[in-house]
Amino acid sequence: MNTRRLVTALVVAGMLSVLVYGVLFALTDIQAVLSDLKSFPVEVFGVMLVLSLVCFALRAIRWKYLTHLTGRPLSVPDAFYVQFSGMTMTITPGKVGELLKPFLMKQLVGMPMSRGIAMVFSERVADLIAVLLLSAGGLTLLGEGGIIAYAIGLGIVAIGTLAVSSKRFHDFALRMVERTPWIKQHHASASAISETIQAALTPVPLIISVLFSAMAWGAEGVGFWLARRALGFEGLAVLPAVAIYAVSTIIGAIAFIPGGVGLTEASLAGLAVASGATGSVATTATLLTRIATLWFGLAVGWVVIAFRPRLVRTFLTGQSDSDGSPAEATS
For residues 79 and 212, the answer to whether their CB atoms sit within 8 Å is: no
Q: For residues 40 and 327, which has the higher predicted lDDT (pLDDT)?
A: 40
Q: Count CB atoms within 10 A of the CB of residue 152.
A: 10
Cα diameter, the chain? 65
d(CA 267, CA 222): 17
Query: Is 252 within a domain?
Result: yes
Query: Is 226 within a domain?
Result: yes
Query: Is 222 within a domain?
Result: yes
Percentages helix, strand, coil for the chain (3-state, rounded to 5) are 80, 0, 20
| Residue 80 banded pLDDT, cuts 50, 70, 90 | very high
pLDDT single digits (tens) 291-328: 999 899 989 998 999 888 888 777 777 655 444 444 44
For helices 238-254 and 263-274, the axis angle rounded to 10 degrees is 150
pLDDT single digits (tens) 110-145: 999 889 999 999 998 999 999 989 988 766 666 666
Q: Is the pLDDT of residue 195 over 80?
A: yes
Identity at 49, one-letter amino acid code: L
Give the range among 155-164, 169-178, 196-205 with minimum mean pLDDT: 169-178
The pLDDT assigned to 325 comes to 44
Could you give the percent of the chain with pLDDT greater than 90?
35
DSSP 180: -
The pLDDT assigned to 319 comes to 59
CA distances from 327 to 60, 118, 223 (A): 20, 22, 37
Query: Is 61 within a domain?
Result: yes
The pLDDT assigned to 267 comes to 83
For residues 73 and 64, the answer to whether their CB atoms sit within 8 Å is: yes
pLDDT single digits (tens) 212-271: 999 999 999 999 999 999 998 887 889 889 999 998 888 776 665 666 677 788 888 888
Written as one string, the DSSP assignment of 83-145 is HHHHGGGTTSGGGGGGGHHHHHHHHHH---HHHHHHHHHHHHHHHHHHHHHHHGGGGGGTHHH
Query: Is 263 within a domain?
Result: yes
Total number of domains in the chain = 1
Written as one string, the DSSP assignment of 239-302 is HHHHHHHHHHHHHHHHS-SGGGTTHHHHHHHHHHHHTT--HHHHHHHHHHHHIIIIIHHHHHHH
Q: Count CB atoms within 10 A of the CB of residue 255.
A: 13
Mean pLDDT, the chain, whole residue set: 83
Query: Is 131 within a domain?
Result: yes
What's the angle, vertex CA 204, arms to CA 169 and CA 330, rounded to 5?
A: 100
Query: Is 212 within a domain?
Result: yes
The pLDDT assigned to 323 comes to 40
Q: Is the pLDDT of residue 90 over 90?
A: no
Q: What mean pLDDT comes out for the span 266-279?
A: 85
Domain that holds residue 165: 46-315
Q: Count CB atoms within 10 A of the CB of residue 233.
A: 19
Query: Is 136 within a domain?
Result: yes
